Structure 1
């Protein structure tokens, strides 16, 4: 765990809201010089606080109007390794996230598709044929509200 002061927390929160802001602009808001702000950002990045920068696409605007969360229970854990399943599922481009979870299911996937028939194709031809797949439960996303986590 990295030791953060109040300025680091405000800086991290500001970058979570808009990662494109310059160190100069952030520094003006915080009462710091651009070099001092840049050094803080670099220290936080080097400590692993920030992941890779990404563009947040509007999936619907690029043709993916259906999002489905899948709960997957592996049929026989002894016959297939978790790594084999994870490697195979990660190779499916429509699978946006793979989460190994504790509970009724072994994995939770976020899958995007152009429409329901496209999702059915992905489910039948790609996901259900993965090594070790047993029980699958699907939940179609109706709406989503994104909230920044507490800092």
Structure 2
């Protein structure tokens, strides 16, 4: 696990203009995907590796100090991810410096994310998104068949 996001009792849009309450990794994945989209929007020149670095460097550390199996690098802190002064990943002089939040949020030491871990994370996130879309389409299709 690299980062943690809320995944219990998440309200989201549902069918027929209604809302639903969901729990699970699909909801957490959607939150992280949205965070990535916002970071990409604000910082369009960041590489995928730098986006992940920004997310992990600004996550709120929970559990054991540093990366742990329960929370990864911590809980997603979107405000810090969008506002913290995070030194570039390729700047070795700043690699050990902690980011400084410019508008709230708790900064944690920046992790080192290897290329293979980044690739694995991106493939996993992509697969989860595809699985979520397929399941959603199957549920919608099933409900339409039941309604006709």
Q: State the TM-score, normalizing by the size of structure 2.
A: 0.31
- Asked which structure has the greater RCO (Cα within 8 Å, sep 6+), the reply is 1
- Which structure: larger Rg? 1
Considering fraction of residues, name the structure with more helix. 2
Structure with the bigger percentage of strand: 1
TM-score, L = length of structure 1: 0.31
